[in-house]
């Protein structure tokens, strides 16, 4: 087992990894920018190293500074968390070259699955269902020809992207010609890669993702069920749950077999998530794979009883995983609300001083976060403050517990999106499970704001 792990991340995921390390008897090293000097994860780590000023490019994306921190602290492994460098194959390769274990998939796996176009090609070879789409497009003319073959509407996407950047829904050739250069510019600005491709657009899809945890050395390719992530704002997830009310036991078993076989054929190692669209007819179509731990991984932990972060570490260390190598059936229901520091009406980021923080408690409540009374939320990073989770025997019980937990939660001094979550949980469409990625467009609370945006 590792003696010391450096966490190349910040905030709640850094704290989550630190807690797993402590339970496994492993020393932890936190790296932080000057903006995060007083952050809770920095206090909880066994050691802490400042790696630069607030801007991410000079700190959490600064590979030389992170590697220097690893050398100074004597770490023998690095956990990248999610975001930042977590899916950067070059970073994983540098870790290997420096004799450090990168806790995640191999650089080759990241390259195979990380780019959306290569991942689509690989999925096609492996028999994973896909929407009609293209490879990388040369220019607007090729895009129009391909779109007319697929049939409008189509969606234009950045091959190296995520989070909605470089993504455009297109309903005509004229519109495609107009938005193509905009999408390419966004892709270059966001990912330093202007490659674009097309897919057929599904008007009312659900966003379904399957969690995997693989250890090829012990011939283990576990598919740990699905998560429903359909409630999104501008392609950013807001609420997640497991299991999905739209996925039947038969569909879950069928997809689990397909995905498990694909992971075995490619020799994938570590945790990962395959994301799909579910159309109105109940067909799943592969979109992309995230070769890292996800923000929403705790909902899977709650319904499976498996500590994904601890098992990630065990797999990377070459130890036999503690979970059973057999099909997993979700037990009960779990729900996650992402509590962000933002205005609940305009969604503008709202950093500032937290004057009073009281987390909720009671049966079936879990709070993953790194905030406290007296902490100043920096304006330099993602606005996520806390992941609030509830678990129950049924979806109805889980929703009721989340409503209670949201009512109990106190975060004074800044604005948060707690009122948005309360409105979502009260909506009849949510309670009855009628979800799609356009859910928030129809929620009276947000419809006007989203229309203006």
What lies within 8 Å, CB to CB, of 264 at 6+ separation is: 216, 219, 221
* pLDDT recorded at residue 448: 52
Residues recognised as catalytic? 292
- If you search the block for the tokens 């604005």, which residue do you land on? 415
Distances (CA, A) of 390 to 241, 310, 403, 406: 10, 21, 9, 10
Interatomic CA distance for residues 369 and 14, integer angstroms: 10
- Which DSSP string do the residues of 313-351 spell out, in sequence order? HHHHTTPPPSS-SS-----SEEEEEEEESB-TTT--B--
Interatomic CA distance for residues 127 and 266, integer angstroms: 13
Interatomic CA distance for residues 270 and 292, integer angstroms: 8
Total Cβ atoms within 10 A of residue 248: 11
Cβ–Cβ < 8 Å for 410, 430: no
* pLDDT recorded at residue 290: 95
Cβ–Cβ < 8 Å for 137, 198: yes
CATH number, domain 4-103, options 3.90.1150.10, 3.30.70.100, 3.40.50.300, 3.40.50.20: 3.40.50.20
Instruction: Find, among 379, 373, 384, 296, the residue nearest to 339 by Cα.
Output: 384
pLDDT tens digit string along 356-385? 999 999 999 999 999 999 999 999 999 999
* pLDDT recorded at residue 449: 58
What does DSSP assign to residue 1?
-
Percentage of residues in the chain having pLDDT higher than 70: 98
Interatomic CA distance for residues 362 and 370, integer angstroms: 19
Cβ–Cβ < 8 Å for 341, 350: yes
Confidence of residue 322 (pLDDT cuts 50, 70, 90): confident
pLDDT tens digit string along 252-301? 999 999 999 999 999 999 999 999 999 999 999 999 999 999 999 999 99
How far the first Cα of the chain sits from its last, in Å, is: 49
Virtual torsion, Cα 176, 177, 180, 181, nearest 10 deg: -160
pLDDT (average), residues 307-312: 97
* pLDDT recorded at residue 453: 42
pLDDT tens digit string along 99-157? 999 999 999 999 999 888 899 999 999 999 999 999 999 999 999 999 999 999 999 99
Distances (CA, A) of 199 to 153, 202, 252, 281: 9, 9, 24, 18
What does DSSP assign to residue 175?
H
Cβ–Cβ < 8 Å for 242, 303: yes
What lies within 8 Å, CB to CB, of 142 at 6+ separation is: none
The model's pTM is 0.93
Average pLDDT of the residues of the chain: 94
pLDDT (average), residues 297-325: 94
Give residue 330's region: left, alpha or beta (phi > 0; psi -120 to 50).
Answer: beta
Torsional sign, CA 46, 106, 292, 185: positive
Domain ranges of the chain: 4-103, 132-200, 206-452
pLDDT tens digit string along 418-435? 999 999 999 999 999 999
The CATH class, in words, for 206-452 is alpha beta
Interatomic CA distance for residues 221 and 269, integer angstroms: 9
Tokens of 399: 């929703």
Instruction: Reduce the DSSP state of residue 20 to 3 states and report it.
Output: helix
- Which DSSP string do the residues of 282-298 spell out, in sequence order? S-EEEEEEE-S--TTHH
* pLDDT recorded at residue 114: 85
* pLDDT recorded at residue 359: 98
Domain 132-200 grouped into CATH 3.30.70.20: no
Distances (CA, A) of 131 to 53, 120, 202, 250, 286: 43, 9, 9, 21, 7
């Amino acid at each position: 087992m590792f003696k010391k792990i450096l966490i190349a991340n910040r905030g709640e995921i850094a704290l989550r990894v630190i807690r797993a390390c402590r339970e496994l008897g492993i020393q932890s090293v936190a790296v932080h920018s000057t903006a995060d000097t007083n952050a809770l994860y920095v206090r909880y780590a066994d050691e802490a190293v400042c790696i630069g000023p607030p801007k991410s490019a000079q700190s959490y994306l600064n590979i030389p500074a992170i590697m220097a921190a690893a050398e100074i602290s004597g770490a023998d492994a690095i956990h990248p968390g999610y975001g930042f460098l977590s899916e950067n194959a070059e970073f994983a390769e540098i870790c290997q070259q420096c004799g450090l274990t990168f806790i995640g998939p191999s650089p080759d796996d990241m390259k195979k699955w990380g780019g959306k176009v290569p991942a689509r090609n690989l999925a096609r070879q492996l028999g994973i269902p896909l929407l009609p789409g293209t490879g990388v497009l040369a220019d607007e003319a090729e895009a129009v020809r391909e779109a007319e073959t697929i049939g409008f509407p189509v969606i234009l996407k950045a091959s190296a992207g995520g989070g909605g950047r470089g993504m455009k829904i297109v309903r005509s050739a004229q519109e495609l010609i107009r938005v193509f250069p905009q999408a390419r510019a966004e892709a270059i600005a966001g990912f330093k890669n202007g490659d674009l491709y097309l897919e057929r657009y599904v008007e009312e899809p659900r966003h379904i993702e399957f969690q995997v945890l693989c250890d090829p050395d012990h011939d283990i390719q576990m598919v740990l069920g699905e998560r429903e992530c359909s409630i999104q704002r501008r392609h950013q997830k807001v609420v997640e749950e497991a299991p999905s009310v739209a996925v039947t036991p038969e569909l879950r078993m069928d997809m689990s077999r397909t995905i498990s076989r694909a992971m075995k054929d490619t020799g994938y190692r570590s945790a990962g998530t395959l994301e799909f669209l579910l159309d109105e007819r109940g067909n799943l179509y592969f979109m992309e794979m995230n070769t890292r731990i996800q923000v929403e991984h705790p909902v899977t932990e709650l319904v499976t009883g498996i500590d994904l972060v601890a098992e990630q570490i065990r797999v990377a260390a070459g130890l036999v995983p503690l979970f059973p190598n057999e099909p997993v059936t979700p037990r009960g229901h779990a729900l996650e609300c992402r509590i962000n520091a933002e205005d609940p009406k305009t969604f503008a980021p709202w950093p500032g001083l937290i004057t009073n923080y009281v987390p909720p408690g009671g049966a079936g409540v879990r709070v993953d976060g790194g905030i406290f009374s007296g902490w100043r939320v920096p304006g330099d990073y993602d606005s996520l403050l806390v992941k609030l989770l509830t678990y129950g025997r049924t979806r109805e019980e889980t929703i009721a517990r989340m409503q209670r937990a949201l009512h109990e939660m106190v975060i004074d001094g800044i604005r948060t999106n707690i009122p948005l979550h309360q409105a979502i949980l009260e909506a009849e469409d949510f309670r009855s499970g009628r979800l799609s990625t356009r859910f928030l467009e129809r929620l009276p609370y947000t419809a006007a704001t989203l229309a203006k945006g």
